[in-house]
Amino acid sequence: MDDGTRRRRRQNEEDGMSLVKTVRNTLVPVHKAGYPFIAIFFVVSLLLGLLWTPLMWIGFLLTAWCAYFFRDPIRMTPLDDDLVISPADGRVSSIAHVLPPVELGLGAEPMLRITVFMNVFNCHVNRAPMRGTIRQIAYREGQFVNAELDKASHDNERNGLVIETSHGAIGVVQIAGLVARRIICWANVGERLEAGERFGLIRFGSRLDVFLPKGAEARVSLGQTAIAGETVLAEFGSAKGAILSRRG
């Protein structure tokens, strides 16, 4: 084999590896909690194809959507203990001072509540809004009304975390919606979370409420799009330049 052939073969191998690397970096990782659902969608699509081919292609489209729903992208989280980071992707649907859920034990005084509503096209992996230690986790059964309604904060199925931070205790509440039927939280009481660290997810549409003590000021507007692990929802004290750090 002459030198020219070797160089061409080496170049072809490098080009192939580069293409594979590009595709791999382009594809967003899928959270393992979605694997069973993706497999079910895929198998059902094949079975539907035995009845009528167009149904199979429709099923494959739904399978692709399912994989997209369970995506788990890498996010860049500001490293600043004065900042409250969005725990979810979605739209800021409420900024108000309201009483926190009684099961969280956060007192009987109104707290700043910032709500992020997730539709079925948003990433549903939930992240810690601040660095701190989980003091309490409280699950409450409930209804499945539209999560955008204000009463959903009290009426719907929910799971709340109380996190002790450098600015006091904050509440993070996962709330089920019309389509959501499963709240998942893999964090435990006593566990220390970093800001932007994953702690759970909700399947198929829902919302998250963040309850903040005195001293927090909202840094978002109603209707604004929030990105979990990146968007600053609120801040304690004066504004600072935050250092960005990549989180896996």
For residue 209, give the amino acid letter: D
Residue 86 is a catalytic residue: no
Closest by CA position to 74, among listed 173, 188, 197:
197
- Backbone dihedral angles phi then psi of residue 7, each to the nearest 5 degrees: -65, -40
Q: Answer for the pair 144, 117: CB distance below 8 angstroms, yes or no.
A: no
Q: Answer for the pair 43, 7: CB distance below 8 angstroms, yes or no.
A: no
Residue 105 tokens read as 């034990």
The region, left, alpha or beta by phi > 0 then psi within -120 to 50, assigned to residue 215 is left
**CA–CA separation, 148 vs 135, rounded Å?**
28
For residue 150, give the amino acid letter: D
Is 73 in a helix, a strand, or coil?
Answer: coil
* Positive/negative CA dihedral, 68, 72, 74, 80: positive
**CA–CA separation, 84 vs 170, rounded Å?**
10
Q: Please tell me which residue in 206, 221, 238, 245 is annotated as part of the active site.
A: 206
Q: Answer for the pair 155, 142: CB distance below 8 angstroms, yes or no.
A: yes
Closest by CA position to 146, among listed 192, 100, 180:
180
Residue 109 tokens read as 């005084």
Q: Which residues are catalytic?
A: 206
